[in-house]
Amino acid sequence: MQAFVAPLALLVERWLGYPQRLVDLIGHPVIWMGRFITFMEKGVDKRERTPRQRRDAGIFTLAVLLIVTLAIALLVQQTLRSMPLGWALEILVATPFLAQKELGRAVEAVSTALLTSLQAGREAVSHIVGRDPDTLDEAGVARAAVETLAESTSDGVVAPWFWLVLLGLPGIALYKAINTADSMIGHMNERYRDYGWAAAKLDDLVNLIPARLSAVLVTIACFFVPGASPSKAWQAARRDARKHKSPNSGWPEAAFAGALDLSLGGPRTYDGELVDLPTMGDGDTRLGPYHIARAITLYRMTLNVLLALSLAIALLMLAA
């Protein structure tokens, strides 16, 4: 049954998610990692240091985070595998590192809010994006929601699943630690350009394969979603992904844009500063709640394709 940990973790997390009562009671692994990163930053990231010293401090922070995460994950995995039915508990331990249910819920909330009013849509989207929500019109709110859904399909679902299949609990825990560090300190601004360099580079590395796999999964999902185009999804991914400043984020974003005949990306504002980003896809720019709903349909079908792939891999492992 060990081979079925990954597909069953996908099923359980998609059904149950991570209950808010559990978050209130004990927190969440990402919260624990975030607190550790903040603790390390306060201790080693001194503003008076040279850029090289700050880069070294960031490497040290990331190394300590990964060593601690690996030690805990290995201990938990070995303990569970020594227990009767430990594989079932391993499934439950793996589920918090996946984000299928919460991602779908959060993006769907933007669509629902936008049907009420533009201000409600801005408020809802502010919980899932870093750009300034007050600068967004209805199309901007919808575009931000679809872009987040596309990118998070890769780094919130496909990538952790990939590392779970490859390296078990240590793999998915290490990936989440790297991804959390990147989201907190891996920014190319004055504060984190040096200190967060290692986190950003390592996050790019561990997402290389999952991002491209995500584009493939989205393309396959198009065959089962009325109105979605698999050929345009793959064409847009191959053509536009390289335009993105990230070596990875463009793949799922461009695939979603091509699949749904949308135009994603473009200028947006962060902390009052206008950032001109490239466009993904060459379709409709006038997005609204309907387009978010279509994107969610494509997202859920992509999850079905991922589950089918995961089950196929488990059966192959069992037969080997």
Separation between Cα atoms, residue 13 and residue 29, nearest integer Å: 14
CA pair distance 100, 145, nearest whole angstrom:
15
Residue 252 CA to residue 282 CA, distance in Å, equals 15
pLDDT at residue 275, as a whole number: 65
Confidence (pLDDT) at 270: 62
User: What is the residue-level pLDDT of the chain in tens, covering all 320 positions?
Assistant: 677 999 999 999 999 999 889 888 999 999 999 999 999 988 886 667 888 999 999 999 999 999 999 999 999 999 999 998 889 999 999 999 999 999 999 999 999 999 999 999 999 999 998 778 888 999 999 999 999 999 999 999 999 999 999 999 999 999 999 999 999 999 888 888 999 999 999 999 999 999 999 999 999 999 999 999 999 999 999 999 999 889 999 999 999 999 999 999 876 666 556 567 789 999 998 999 999 999 999 999 999 999 999 999 999 998 87
Q: What is the predicted pLDDT for the residue at 3?
A: 79
3-state secondary structure of 226: coil
Residues 6+ apart with CB under 8 A from 271: 132
> Considering only CA atoms, which of 81, 100, 79 is closest in space to residue 5?
81
Question: How confident is the model at residue 269, as a pLDDT?
Answer: 63
Query: What pLDDT score was predicted for residue 277?
Result: 77
SS3 262: strand
Helix or strand holding residue 304 (H, E) = helix 289-319
Domain boundaries defined on the chain:
2-319
pLDDT at 171: 97
Determine phi and psi for 280, rounding to 5 degrees: -110, 125
Go through the chain and tell me how many residues it has. Answer: 320
Beta bridge partners of 234: none
pLDDT of residue 155: 96
Beta-strand runs (E) in the chain: 264-265, 268-270, 273-275, 279-280
**pLDDT for the residue numbered 188:** 81
What's the whole-model pTM score?
0.95
Q: Tell me, what's the pLDDT at 189?
A: 82
pLDDT at 319: 86
